[in-house]
Structure formats: C-alpha cells, structure tokens
Structure 1
Amino acid sequence: MLVPAVAAGAAAELDAARDACADALGVLAASRPDRLIVVGPAAGPQDVRPYPQGAYGSFRGYGVDVDVTLDGTPTVPGDRAARSPDDELPTSLAVAAWLLAQVAWSASPIEGLGVREPLDADRCIKTGKDITTGDDRVALLVMGDASACRTLKAPGYLDERAAAFDAEVARALATADVATLAGLDAALATDLKAAGRPCWQVLAGAAEGAGLNGALLYEDAPYGVGYLVAAWS
C-alpha cells in the first residue's frame, strides 16, 4: 500500500509513512555506504536468495501497470517479456525499489536479499553477521510488515496479542535494541502475520556490537496492519 498506484483512492492515508521512508533513506545516504543491501521477506525454496542491482520487479499482480528495477532506473517498455518470472523481485524488494526510485538513490551500489518465511532466528542472525563481514561500509534497507491483526477488518482479523507485539518491535526499533529483535517469538510472529520478523532478525545480526542509535519515524496501523519506519545510525 506504500505504492500509490496500488493503494489507489486510499493512497493519501500513507503519505506520512512515505515521507518517513524518504527521511530514513536520507539517513542511509548520509552514512556514505560502500553498498546498500535491501532485505525483505520472500517466498520460495531458498532460505536466503540474493538479487543483483537492476533486478526487475512488478506490481502487475495487484492490477496496476507499474514496474521497477532494484537500482531505481526506469524499466524499458517490452523488457518484461524477456524476463523469467522466477527472477522477479518479491513484493517486499519491489516496494523497496519503488522507494529508492522516489529519492533517486545514487549513494552506492545496491544488492537485494530475499529471506524465506519463516526462517529460524539463528539462521537470520547468522545471515546478518555474514552481511557485515569485510571492510566495506554497508547500509541496510530492511523491509517487512508488523502484525496484520490489529482490527476486525485487518487481513488476519483481530488478535488481541497484535498491539503488544507491535509495541515491542516499535520500542526495539526506536532504541536500536538488537537483543529484543533477536529474541522475537517466531511462532507468535507467524500467528500475527508479521512478515518482517525474519528481516528484523537479519538486522539484529548485522548490527550486533555496532553501537547504533535508533529513531522511530512513523508508527501506525492503517488497514489493521502495523506500519513502522525507523532509522538506525
């Protein structure tokens, strides 16, 4: 729903969230990274799947004629026909590509990483640690919903545990609390349809020991789904 063409008449409801995303990307750009890694939940047999800069994504499955590439450059008409659906970005990384295009990201090369749902916490944390091995400066753009069970009309219906779960994640993101993210209950996250859990734990692994500070830029539950935007630096 962050992509206005998908949200259609409800697009204005998430203007503040889009502004917060742009602010968070500004923080990442200001860190002058050597590379940006975009992490997002994905389906499929691979636990962790890399996507190269320029990988293609689309929102045609949502009934809109919007295509993206992971580097934020415009797609070429007719190019989609030459691409295999198996190589298409998962929705989470396609949304990230759209956000990067809105700010004309040029601060560094970009890589994508799709994380299978559900993936156990230990593997997620190890993946995060592996990302930061080496001497180059790495920035992460981490995608993923909080719970989808905040109201009766939410995609997952109302679950009384959802608000507390989202509040715990919000506190962790606001304070760069890697221990809380690393310790999130994977089974509860699955029950609440919180697709961001594996990716937040990748973040926890990457940020462990880095001494980062956090800021929560947006917190709300439009459509009964938890939306959180934070920046760590």
Structure 2
Amino acid sequence: MLVAAAVCPCPPLLVPEVAAGAAPELDAARAACADALGVLSAARPDRLVVVGPAEDGGHGPYPEGTPGTFRGFGVDVAVRLGRGKPDNTAMDPAAVDRSVTDAPSAPGRALPSSLAVAAWLLEHTGWTDAPVEGLGVEPLDAARCIRLGREIAEPDERVALLVMGDASACRSLKAPGYLDERAAGFDAEAARALGSADIRTLKSLDIALAQELKASGRAPWQVLAGAGEDTDLRGSLLYDEAPYGVGYLVATWS
C-alpha cells in the first residue's frame, strides 16, 4: 500500500560539488527536496522505493547499499543507496515487470545518475526511517509504467515512493533541448497533476511529446500514478521553476 510519495528533480547539479560556483542557484530546490523527504519520513513507511529514469541502460532493480558516483560529472563524490551493504535480496526481479528488470542486479553495477542524486538527497537529509530499494526505469509505455507502479504498491506493507525525474528541457534558448513553445504548457500540466495527485492526468501524459521535450520524469511519474491508484493521498506542489531552461518540480503526496 502506498502511504506517501515525494517527487524530486534529478539533475546532478543538485549536488553542490557538481554545481560548484552555481550551487546557490538551486538552494531553494534542495530545500524543497528536503521538505519532501520529511513528508516521507512522517508517513512511517516499512519500505522506501526510489524510482528514476535510466535511459542509459541502467534499468532494473538496485538493492540497498548499491554505490554511485559523480566522477562522470567531474567531481570525486561517492554515494550509497541507503545504509545497507550491497546484496540481491531487496527487490526480487521476478516480482516486477520483466521489461524493466532484464538488467542484472549484481552489486558491481553502479547507480544511474538519477538514483545517485536520490542517494545523495537521502544521505543529505539523514534518512534512516526504512530500508531503501532503487529501480531504474526505461522510457516504457504508459501501460507498463502503471502496471509496474501497481506491483510496487501491491505488497501488504507501508510503501513510500521517492520519484525522481525532470520536466521538459526546452524552456529557454539555452536549454539542453533549445526553446520549444510547447514546453511551458507540458510542464504546467505536469506540475498541476503532481501537485494535486491527479492520477488520471498523469496516466494520460503524451509520451511522444514528453520524449520530444526531453522530459525524463514522464515514465517515473506514470509509475507513481499506478502506485497511487485506490488511495486517498493528497498532493502538494512545493517547487516549480525552470533554471537553465529545465523544468524542476518538487511535490508530495500524503
């Protein structure tokens, strides 16, 4: 049963060492993420599942204790998902959609960048409230994302979700995807849906448009929509800005 969810952006720039001199520009986003994790803590979950985009082949489950690094972004910063030692017992690949879990879950596999950012946020806020599992999600179709969310929330235990992903990357001329006039409208719809726990709208997000706008959060948000079915969770939007031309959203469901 899903008892709470937090939605956070996943740019490595959230890590101050990566952002370097630009770090203060995302202080408000970091603070909103910390507040969102506080909502998860208050829900007293039995298990925290972190879901994030993994378009670079890093899809599949990541057990508690899996390491990650930001060396690829020019800084020697290492993180670990939760506090456990790496093992293969946390999330049984047979329990979730096979299309998401074809990748091996061996301890030697490092976290994809979205889950590494999540691990940094959890360490930064001192998360000790529940065991942590990670799941890297490819840009699957909506039906499979929703089914995956249902499976995550199905066990008879209190599950919280930390959902990582960015909105469009086309909000300005200097954005990674250049300026696209459709981006602001897409982001506004996503922000409203995430901020009001509007499952129907999240399920119907335009996949092709999301891909064109480089919105990495679309698939994880639809996983959240599946997990949130048959709950009475209410949403709250904590942050909605587009620094560097990329939409960053922070929301909570509780």
Measured on the aligned residues, the alpha-carbon RMSD in Å equals: 1.6
Name the SS of the counterpart of 1:114 in structure 2.
strand
After TM superposition, where is structure 1 displaced by more than 6 Å over at least 4 residues in a row? none
Counterpart of 2:166?
Answer: 145
Q: Cα–Cα, structure 1 residues 34 and 139, in superposed 2: closer, same or farther, change >3 Å?
A: same
Letter of the aligned partner of 1:140 in structure 2?
A: L
Considering Cα pairs closer than 8 Å and 6+ residues apart, tell me whether 1 or 2 has the greater RCO.
Answer: 2
Counterpart of 1:4?
Answer: 16
Match 2:235 to one of 214, 219, 223: 214
1:211 Cα deviation after fit: 1.1
Counterpart of 1:33?
Answer: 45
Match 2:121 to one of 84, 96, 99: 99
1:43 Cα deviation after fit: 2.6
- Count the aligned residue pairs: 222
Report 1:194-205 matches (<5 A): 194-205=215-226
Give TM-score scaled by structure 2 length: 0.85
Q: Cα–Cα, structure 1 residues 10 and 55, in superposed 2: closer, same or farther, change >3 Å?
A: same
> 1:161 and 1:206 mapped to 2: Cα distance?
28
Task: Check whether the contact 1:72–1:97 (CA below 8 A) recurs between aligned residues.
Answer: no
Counterpart of 1:78?
Answer: none
1:71 aligns with 2:82: yes
Report 1:104-183 matches (<5 A): 104-116=126-138, 118-183=139-204
The answer for unaligned runs of 5 or more in structure 2 is 1-12, 85-105
User: Percent of pairs identical after alignment?
Assistant: 68
CA offsets 1:181-217 (integer angstroms, 9 cap, x no match): 1100000000000000000000000001111100000
> 2:146 and 2:159 mapped to 1: Cα distance?
16
Give TM-score scaled by structure 1 length: 0.92
CA offsets 1:150-176 (integer angstroms, 9 cap, x no match): 000000000000000000000001100
1:27 Cα deviation after fit: 0.2
Task: Check whether the contact 2:64–2:83 (CA below 8 A) recurs between aligned residues.
Answer: no
Counterpart of 1:62?
Answer: 73
Letter of the aligned partner of 1:107 in structure 2?
A: D
Structure with more of its chain in helix, by fraction: 1
